[in-house]
Amino acid sequence: MNPEVSLIISTYNQPEWLKKVLIGYENQSFRDFEIVIADDGSLDQTQSVIDDFINNSNLKITHVWQEDQGFQKTKILNKAIVKTRAKYLIFTDGDCIPRSDFVETHIQLRKPSCLLSGGYFKLPIEISRQITKSDIIKQDCFSKDWLLNQGLKTSFKLNKLTAKGTKAIFLNKFTPTKATFDGMNASAWKQDVLDVNGFDERMHYGGEDRELGERMMNNGVKPIQIRYSAICIHLDHERSYVNDAELLINKALRNETKKQKKVWSNFGITQD
């Protein structure tokens, strides 16, 4: 039987971070999911990490890899979408450790013709490195007190980790942050993604996931804010792939999508 949900995890040469992320998915309260890893050309170390989990964990993992030709995340994500077997998709990144209720929360809050817009809690590099397998299993790395003891500075954003129930609902409703389709923590029905032809493969780093969400919204899909409900912590790393010229191209493509209220990309999963 097909799983209830397919998780698409993007990665590129961050094997230690990916290992911590997969430990997080080993410890989910909701178990009926598969993982499709969208790998944009990582080296053998990433393959070794994935093989170890395939052979020694209860996770159902499919590894979709393409040759490294620069930042081609949109292409590998489209390939991963095609490989999924569930009707519902969760998108996240290989540097985002999920809290134990992450998948369950997406499942509980999903609605027909809607997408869910989650957020993340970003950690500094020092604390990212300190997190152990035990910290993930015991959920210490999602504890405000534990993080403060590791040297994290206090801020309002800690509410992402501490908000529960009515408080989380309140913060989701009144946050000034718009509900957008951000690839580190978002979900949607597979058919809604296919109906707009997936990611625009002309786009490189910078808003490429939001552009997909904007086309889905143009097609009648309603965005729902869940940034204080579906929680993952973001492990810090360098971004050598950031390119100012490509950011401008992406901005122009997103502006075109908004002004023309575009629904379909001719540069997506299906191309003439």
3-state secondary structure the chain: CCCCEEEEEEECCCHHHHHHHHHHHHCCCCCCEEEEEEECCCCHHHHHHHHHHHHHCCCCEEEEECCCCCCCHHHHHHHHHHHCCCCEEEEEECCEEECCCHHHHHHHHCCCCEEEECCCEECCHHHHHHCCHHHHHCCHHHCHHHHHHCCCCCCHHHHHHHCCHHHHHHHHHHCCCCCCCCCCEEEEEHHHHHCCCCCCCCCCCCCHHHHHHHHHHHCCCEEEECCCCCCEEECCCCCCCCCHHHHHHHHHHHHHHHHCCCCCCCCCCCCC
Summary mean pLDDT of the chain: 96
Q: Can you tell me the mean pLDDT for 57-72?
A: 96
For residue 272, name the pLDDT band (cuts at 50, 70, 90). Answer: confident
Q: Per-residue pLDDT tens for 175-215? A: 999 999 999 999 999 999 999 999 999 999 889 999 999 99
pTM: 0.97
Q: Per-residue pLDDT tens for 78-90? A: 999 999 999 999 9
pLDDT of residue 37: 98
**Domains recognised in the chain with CATH numbers:** 5-259 (3.90.550.10)
Q: Can you tell me the mean pLDDT for 100-123?
A: 97
User: Is residue 239 pLDDT above 80, yes or no?
Assistant: no
For residue 240, name the pLDDT band (cuts at 50, 70, 90). Answer: low
For residue 241, name the pLDDT band (cuts at 50, 70, 90). Answer: low
User: Is residue 243 pLDDT above 90, yes or no?
Assistant: no
